[in-house]
A and B are shown apart, each in its own frame.
Chain A
Amino acid sequence: MAVKVMIPTPLRQYAGKQDSIELEAKTVGEALAGLTSQYSELRRHLYNDDGKIRSFVNIYLNDEDIRYLSKEQTPLNDRDVLSIVPSIAGGMALDVLAGRGRRAGSIHPSALRCICR
């Protein structure tokens, strides 16, 4: 199914600066996997170390939250629109993730990309 994934502002820098990506997928999970394999830096922002979608990121299929559908197993139709909706709070950003969980004192290169926008 040909679907469009809307990329929110904080994540566009990891998706080639695009605000939406078109791809083929049969389920929500497949679409997100396709997205993160094409743009691998998105993966750490969307998924935690256990491979689950981060709790402060909501995924919508058209206008419905996938938590109230079949989550990542939700099937897709042609021209469906997936939206990634992170929580924002005025001046603070989603891009806080890369340092998380690392040993104190160790900085991953991608952490530097997160800091300045």
Chain B
Amino acid sequence: MIETLTAEAVTLSKDEVLRYSRHLIMPEVGMEGQLKLKQAKVLLIGAGGLGSPLALYLAAAGVGRMGMVDFDVVDFTNLQRQIVHGTSDVGRPKLDSAADTIREINPYVELVPHHARLSSENALDIFADYDIVADGTDNFATRYLVNDACVLTGKPNVYGSIFRFEGQASVFATREGPCYRCLYPEPPPPGLVPSCAEGGVLGVLPGIVGCIQALETIKLIIGKGEPLIGRLLLFDALQLRFRELRLRKNPDCPACGTHPTIDHLIDYDEFCGIRGQEAAEPMNGVPEITPIELKRMMDEGAPFQLVDVREPHEFDICRIPGSVLIPLGEVPARMNELDSAEEIVVHCRSGMRSAKAVAFLRQSGFGRIHNLKGGILAWSDQVDPSVPKY
């Protein structure tokens, strides 16, 4: 797999032999495998949901050098799944937080932080110093960037991705195997604003998929077992079912086919259609009302309808008194419950979904309608701090 790794040139100290004894006594790893791990240089893209278990287990296994690329800071909502970070790390750069945890697990790992957003300008340079790349990102543009950079630099791409209760894992961009573009030549068209469309994720799911990525990385390094080259592992967390699909190297693949056309990194935001998408957003120009203005309307006893377009389980978390719940997907069918002659204010969690609802209702003939700017989050910040934010 990684032909350049040989078991020479590095040794293990007495401490390391004791530390890794449970590896050393297995013939599949042994001294030879452990030395290969110590010689290995792995780059982790992302120190989040997938990056956390990757970092923890690769560090524990004794990978010699670990680079990590992340530009973000730890957010309170990360703690539900990004287990390399702790409560006291909220607000710190993720790389600093991860470095502390990793150093505590294994001080022998050489950590190389890359405090940057991976881009076409820096990816090839960053990848050059590593043997394997483990992709723990959460957006299509970066996935295509990582894939192409791996193909161009000849580094395997240990891939994992998740969505709600489903996970995927594979090993792309080896010489003989397929790359990400062999499976998905093009990204989906860009969506709606991800922060609302994200839909949540079961915290432990990236834990499982990230551990599988760590496992595959280790197998590639020690050259044992059957890696997920040419195999797409599908994981359904709710059913607890693993399935496997065969991935073929596409001879016409523009990245890794017999006549590749991709010889440099491109603008991946443009490739994924993200650039310029904002101009087409019908949310621009939706009339808005601030939480303070809404509160004034309530206090003055002005007649209006307050419509909440969130989902029932969100309504269970918190709500604004007097609101009526019409989940966004039901708005077309239930808009006859609303009086177009009356003032209507629509809200959701942060103002994005409700903006869509307002735009839709306006085109359906509702003239007296406003979007609550910032949603119930802003209501909590500006009017009623007792309303929990989520």
Binding site for B on A (CB under 8 A): 6, 8-10, 19, 54-56, 58, 60, 63-65, 68, 83, 85-97, 99-100, 104-107, 109, 111-117
Residues of B within 8 A of A60 (CB): 245
Known: A64-B246, A85-B234, A107-B363. A56 touches B187 (CB 8 A): yes
Known: A85-B232, A89-B137. A112 touches B332 (CB 8 A): yes
- Across the interface, name the chain B residue whose C-beta is closest to A56: B188
Contact (Cβ within 8 A) A89 B139: yes
Stretch touching chain A among B91-99, B149-157, B195-203, B295-303 = B195-203
**Which among B138, B166, B234, B247 is the interface contact of A92 at CB below 8 angstroms?**
B138
Residues of A within 8 A of B137 (CB): 89-90
Taking the closest CB of chain A, its distance from the CB of B280, in whole angstroms, is 4
- Across the interface, name the chain A residue whose C-beta is closest to B348: A116
Contact (Cβ within 8 A) A89 B143: yes
**Which among A88, A99, A112 is the interface contact of B329 at CB below 8 angstroms?**
A112
Contact (Cβ within 8 A) B138 A116: no
Residues of B within 8 A of A91 (CB): 138-139, 163, 194, 198-199, 201
Residues of A within 8 A of B236 (CB): 9, 19
Which residues of chain B in 332-384 are interfacial with respect to chain A, using CB atoms and an 8 Å cutoff?
Answer: 332, 348, 353, 356-357, 359-360, 363
Contact (Cβ within 8 A) A112 B357: yes
Q: How many angstroms from the CA of A116 to the CA of B315 in the assembled complex?
A: 13
Contact (Cβ within 8 A) A9 B138: no
Contact residues of B: prevailing secondary structure: mixed
Residues of A within 8 A of B348 (CB): 116
Interface residues in B, total, Cβ within 8 A: 61
Contact (Cβ within 8 A) B192 A104: no
Binding site for A on B (CB under 8 A): 49-50, 137-140, 143, 161-166, 168, 183-192, 194, 196-201, 206, 232, 234, 236, 239, 243-248, 279-282, 309-311, 327-329, 331-332, 348, 353, 356-357, 359-360, 363
Contact (Cβ within 8 A) A55 B185: yes
Residues of B within 8 A of A54 (CB): 188
Contact (Cβ within 8 A) A90 B245: no
Taking the closest CB of chain B, its distance from the CB of A116, in whole angstroms, is 5
The number of inter-chain residue pairs (CB within 8 angstroms) is 153
Q: How many angstroms from the CA of A8 to the CA of B186 in the assembled complex?
A: 19
**Which among A64, A92, A94 is the interface contact of B194 at CB below 8 angstroms?**
A92
- Across the interface, name the chain B residue whose C-beta is closest to A117: B199
Residues of A within 8 A of B188 (CB): 54, 56, 86-87, 94, 96-97
Residues of B within 8 A of A65 (CB): 245-248
Contact (Cβ within 8 A) A87 B140: yes
Contact (Cβ within 8 A) A92 B191: yes
Contact (Cβ within 8 A) A97 B331: no
- Across the interface, name the chain B residue whose C-beta is closest to A97: B189
Known: A64-B246, A95-B197, A115-B197. A90 touches B356 (CB 8 A): no
Contact (Cβ within 8 A) B232 A116: no
Contact (Cβ within 8 A) A116 B332: no
**Which among A55, A63, A93 is the interface contact of B186 at CB below 8 angstroms?**
A55
Taking the closest CB of chain A, its distance from the CB of B314, in whole angstroms, is 9
The 6 closest A-B pairs by CB, nearest first: A90-B138, A96-B191, A117-B199, A109-B332, A113-B329, A88-B163
Q: A55-B185, A63-B244, A107-B360 known; 20 other A-B pairs, CB under 8 Å?
A: A9-B164, A55-B184, A55-B186, A56-B184, A83-B234, A85-B232, A85-B245, A87-B188, A89-B139, A91-B163, A94-B163, A97-B189, A104-B279, A107-B363, A112-B331, A112-B356, A115-B196, A115-B353, A115-B356, A117-B164
**Which among A10, A56, A90, A112 is the interface contact of B360 at CB below 8 angstroms?**
A112
Taking the closest CB of chain B, its distance from the CB of A65, in whole angstroms, is 6
Residues of A within 8 A of B186 (CB): 55-56
A-B contact pairs, 19 of them (CB 8 A): A9-B166, A56-B186, A56-B187, A58-B183, A63-B244, A65-B246, A85-B234, A88-B161, A92-B138, A92-B163, A93-B163, A93-B199, A94-B163, A94-B188, A104-B282, A105-B282, A115-B356, A116-B196, A116-B311
